[in-house]
Amino acid sequence: MLPLVTDPRTRARWAEEYSARARAYWTEERTKQLVGDKLPIMRPADAAVLLRALGLLRDDASLPPDRARKYFQINHMVALLLPALRELRARHPRVRLLDAGCGRSYLTLLIAWCARHVWNWELEVIGVDRNPDLIAEARRRAEIAGLDEAVRLEVGTVEAVDARDVHGVVALHACDTATCDALALGVSLGAELLAVAPCCQAELARGWSALAERGTSGPFSTIWGTPHLRRETAADVTDAMRTALLRAAGYDVLAMEFVPSEHTRKNTLIRAIRRGAPSDAARTEYEALRVATGGVGIRLAERLRGQLHDAEVYERSSGRREHEQ
């Protein structure tokens, strides 16, 4: 573990020395071997201090093979979010994001670093996680990377944190229904950008398993009764339901692969941008999908109940944007 250096002058000297070490290590040939024809937002030689703080680079500035997957994952995710982030920046002088279930804060720190060192933006990120040990580690990383003034890291639930006037909510690999909670919070806050990479979508599979145990018949009964197919199909159907519900709440939604499947199977990014009024047609699509697959719904539908047909949520956020412009 990289020790925390609290003295600002000592930390600045270490950062300068480590950056020089990284520039010497990451020759054009080595960089080409790592990235090939890709154009990552952060090259190892340029973002060495951050990558060291995140535990991706070694002390000699090399990148272990088992860490390369995470390196490409976080680079690609920020690249996919960049167009939406640019839209936020065009409307708001200072962009505020909430990272729900931030864990060790890879995404939180990467976005903050890019805003400061690449995009030259005013940006604040609030990272929230229930695990105090993870938040302690995230705070250590932020201080090492020199980003402790750009990020706020809190222990607790996202509902308990003062996150008023956030422009976007992100959640990287929030497990099972935690993704639904992050999305519902973003909708309730009137967030203009929602971006989640779901993980361990087990809620729908549990509901289907209960149908199989009761001997319920239906078009999906073969899938309900086959554990592997039930688990894999439920993950995709869960994300399809989420996209319909977000469109019902007034968002344009895109579900995409955010990192190649050879790196991780948890590779779906759902990106939603608030564009218009709530859609009854999208809500009808969700209900049709729910009925067709066995009648089992997901938590997001429960969390959004009362919001999907309430135009006040949209009007409130639209009014805030017009005021800030």
Altogether, the residues listed in the chain come to a count of 325
- For residue 76, the model assigns a pLDDT of 84
Q: In the chain, pLDDT over 90 holds for what percent of residues?
A: 68
Inside any domain, residue 78: yes
The DSSP bridge pattern shows strands 251-257 and 168-175 to be unpaired
Q: Is residue 275's pLDDT more than 70?
A: yes
Tell me which of 55-64, 152-161, 306-315 is least confident: 306-315
In this structure, the answer to whether residues 59 and 173 fall within a common structural domain is no
Give the domain-ending residue among 13, 45, 63. 63
Q: Which domain holds residue 29?
A: 1-63
Q: Is residue 1's pLDDT more than 70?
A: no
Q: Is residue 143's pLDDT more than 50?
A: yes
Q: In the chain, pLDDT over 70 holds for what percent of residues?
A: 89
Closest CA to 22 of 70, 62, 74, 75: 62
Segment 295-315, tens digit of pLDDT: 999 999 999 986 654 544 444
In this structure, the answer to whether residues 212 and 82 fall within a common structural domain is yes
Helix (H) or strand (E) holding 100: strand 94-100
Segment 92-104, tens digit of pLDDT: 999 999 999 888 8
Inside any domain, residue 58: yes
In this structure, the answer to whether residues 185 and 44 fall within a common structural domain is no
In this structure, the answer to whether residues 57 and 176 fall within a common structural domain is no
In this structure, the answer to whether residues 183 and 314 fall within a common structural domain is yes
Inside any domain, residue 162: no
Task: Determine the distance from the C-alpha atom of residue 16 to the mean position of all C-alpha atoms in its chain, rounded to a whole number.
Answer: 30
Radius of gyration of the chain (CA): 21
Give the domain-ending residue among 23, 44, 63. 63
CA atoms within 13 A on the CB side of 293: 25
In this structure, the answer to whether residues 22 and 82 fall within a common structural domain is no
Inside any domain, residue 35: yes
Q: Is residue 109's pLDDT more than 60?
A: yes
Closest CA to 158 of 132, 181, 131, 124: 181
